A and B are shown apart, each in its own frame.
Chain A
């Protein structure tokens, strides 16, 4: 059976879980409340950081313009 350490590592690494390993992970979550809490926290982290990624449309637009100008000025002239 998988230990809590193994389950926590597998969860946080975000890698594809081999099919044969899946039942043992599910079983571990079924019996271990602490690992379920840990998995939940890991999921929250990703969601929280996504919220941090503020979209500043005006600055993004200005940057796009700048790059396009640069392309026209420097690259196309060559």
Chain B
């Protein structure tokens, strides 16, 4: 399919006019990654489909106001993230204090007290998709979204910050906590 460069004025104009060819091109190029991001954030198949559809419906509604200030991909992920957050808002808050677990691994001077397990043991465990999947399910929504968008969808730090509406520093903290929690969980599972 011949495509117009996303940064061009013609493209922005065609988005605003909801041009059928442009919209088809966008749907075909972004639906897969949006759906995979939903699954990565822990939504089941059918809910992921609904979320993606709602994202597009909202996009079609607001496309006439698109000014090209952010990339289309970031714009779409922003809508998706907000929809996902709305959906998860009703769920109960995580009370688990993940921070203490990380800190308890170090002494006052910052040295390891509880070192991580041997790489080969950990490697086998991280290859166990059932354990990994159940550990992912235990992550709070924001951490999981940060981890999925950055590590799985491979969006840049700037893009994820924009999508989630957090600063780069905050994103770093979220990313760090997600990874730290994930590895703590993997180490604990079947230990």
Contact = CB atoms under 8 A, between A and B. Distances in A.
Asked if A pairs with B, the answer is yes
B119 A41 contact: yes
A52 B119 contact: no
Q: Is the interface of B mostly helix, strand, loop or mixed?
A: helix
B126 A41 contact: yes
Contacts of A52: 40, 129, 132-133, 136
A56 B170 CA distance: 33
24 contacts: A4-B112, A5-B110, A6-B110, A34-B115, A37-B116, A37-B118, A41-B122, A44-B126, A46-B151, A47-B126, A48-B126, A49-B182, A52-B40, A53-B39, A53-B152, A54-B39, A59-B35, A64-B28, A66-B49, A67-B27, A67-B52, A67-B56, A68-B24, A68-B27
B76 to A, nearest CB: 12
Interface of A: 3-6, 8-9, 12-16, 34-35, 37-38, 40-42, 44-56, 59-60, 63-64, 66-68, 70-72, 74-76
B152 A14 contact: no
Q: Is the interface of A mostly helix, strand, loop or mixed?
A: helix
4 tightest Cβ-Cβ pairs between the two chains A and B: A3-B110, A13-B172, A12-B176, A5-B110
